[in-house]
Structure 1
Amino acid sequence: MKTPWYKEPWAWFVFILPLSAVVAGITTVIIANTDADSLVVGDYYKKGKAINLELSKIKQAQKLGIEFALKLSNNELVIKPTGIEKQFPLLNVNFYHPTQQEKDFYLAMTADGNGNFRQTLDHDVRGKWRITISPFENHWKIQNTITLPQSDFIEITPKPLEAR
């Protein structure tokens, strides 16, 4: 007597392999469409033009001789000018986390009586960060990749990130 096909173990083995590939493919499509990567840029031409503009701002900072030293300890951020002897009324300081965009933050810092910029942070800042410093007028820019916290001052100089 012949057994029906659905009672044969090899028949189920043959069906399960393609079925698992179909399920894995559908799962992959669902994951790819629901968790979009926020780091992907849609308009590459405009982004390239913006990069060229940013590089010219870095070159302007190099030409002006602008440099800073940065320290973060006990949640107090201190940035002091170490390059040219110039006073800045306001600095725009951006912190970009390399992998978690929701952790990015911005500070508008004004100088104290000594010309240093101080800010007490209300949250813990640890790990690797990309920092950009620019004046209120935004005609130059300094960017650097740093690891925080830092108990000693570290140098922030106007070099493109690719040059490091």
Structure 2
Amino acid sequence: MKDSWYREPWAWLVFILPFTAVVAGISTYIIANTNPDPLVVGDYYKKGKAINLEVGKVKMAQKLGLRFALQLDGNELIIKPTGIEKVFPLLNVNFAHPTLAEQDFYLALTPDGNGHFRHQFEQPVGGKWKITLTSFEGHWKIQDTVGLPQKNFIDFIPDPIKAQ
């Protein structure tokens, strides 16, 4: 008398392997569609043109000879122009957190009597930040990634490689 097929271990092995692959494929599809990656850009051409525009702004800062020094000691931020005599009516300062976009913030600073830009934070600002300095008109840009706080002044120099 012959045994039934479901009592044979080799039959279960033949059925379970393809079934596992189907379940894994469906799971992967569901995960990919319910948790999309926010860093993926749909139109790469437009993004590339925007990067070229940003590099152009950094090159403009180089051409103008712009340099700044930044210090964040305690809760006081000080940004001072170095190497140039030009006075800026307003300086845009963007702080971008590398991983948490909800912590990003923006400051519009006006110079004091010495031409330095100051801001007093209510709470300490610490950690790694991508800081971008731009003119009021947006014609030039300088950016760098720094660890805060900084007790000593650090130089902000236009670098096209950091603009990307």
Measured against the shorter chain, the TM-score band is 0.7 to 0.9
Matches within 5 A, 1:52-63: 52-63=52-63
Letter of the structure 1 residue corresponding to residue 134 of structure 2: S
Q: Distance in 1 between matches of 2:5 and 2:106?
A: 67
TM-score normalised by L of structure 1:
0.84
Question: Counterpart of 1:14?
Answer: 14
Percent of matched pairs sharing the same residue = 68
Question: Counterpart of 1:67?
Answer: 67
Q: Distance in 2 between matches of 1:75 and 1:19?
A: 59
Q: Within the alignment, does 1:36 sit opposite 2:36 as a pair?
A: yes
Question: Counterpart of 1:126?
Answer: 126
Instruction: Check 1:18–1:76 CA distance in 2 against 1; reply closer, same or farther (3 A cut).
Output: farther
Can you list the C-alpha shifts for 1:61-117, whole angstroms capped at 9, x where unaligned?
111111111122323222111131122121111122233322322111122232221
Q: Distance in 2 between matches of 1:83 and 1:40?
A: 40
Q: Distance in 1 between matches of 2:133 and 2:55?
A: 14
Q: Within the alignment, does 1:160 sit opposite 2:160 as a pair?
A: yes
Letter of the structure 1 residue corresponding to residue 95 of structure 2: F
Count of residue pairs the alignment pairs up: 163
Q: Distance in 2 between matches of 1:83 and 1:4?
A: 89
Instruction: Check 1:22–1:125 CA distance in 2 against 1; reply closer, same or farther (3 A cut).
Output: farther
Instruction: Check 1:143–1:21 CA distance in 2 against 1; reply closer, same or farther (3 A cut).
Output: same
Instruction: Check 1:90–1:12 CA distance in 2 against 1; reply closer, same or farther (3 A cut).
Output: same
Matches within 5 A, 1:57-96: 57-96=57-96
Secondary structure (helix, strand or coil) at the match of 1:28 reads: helix
Instruction: Check 1:119–1:4 CA distance in 2 against 1; reply closer, same or farther (3 A cut).
Output: farther
**5+ residue gaps, structure 2:** none
Q: CA RMSD in A?
A: 2.2
Can you list the C-alpha shifts for 1:138-157, whole angstroms capped at 9, x where unaligned?
11111112222222111100
Secondary structure (helix, strand or coil) at the match of 2:11 reads: helix
Question: Counterpart of 2:109?
Answer: 109
Instruction: Check 1:143–1:31 CA distance in 2 against 1; reply closer, same or farther (3 A cut).
Output: same
Question: Counterpart of 2:150?
Answer: 150
Q: Distance in 1 between matches of 2:87 and 2:76?
A: 21
**Native 8 Å contact 1:143 1:161 kept in 2:** no
**5+ residue gaps, structure 1:** none
Q: Within the alignment, does 1:136 sit opposite 2:142 as a pair?
A: no
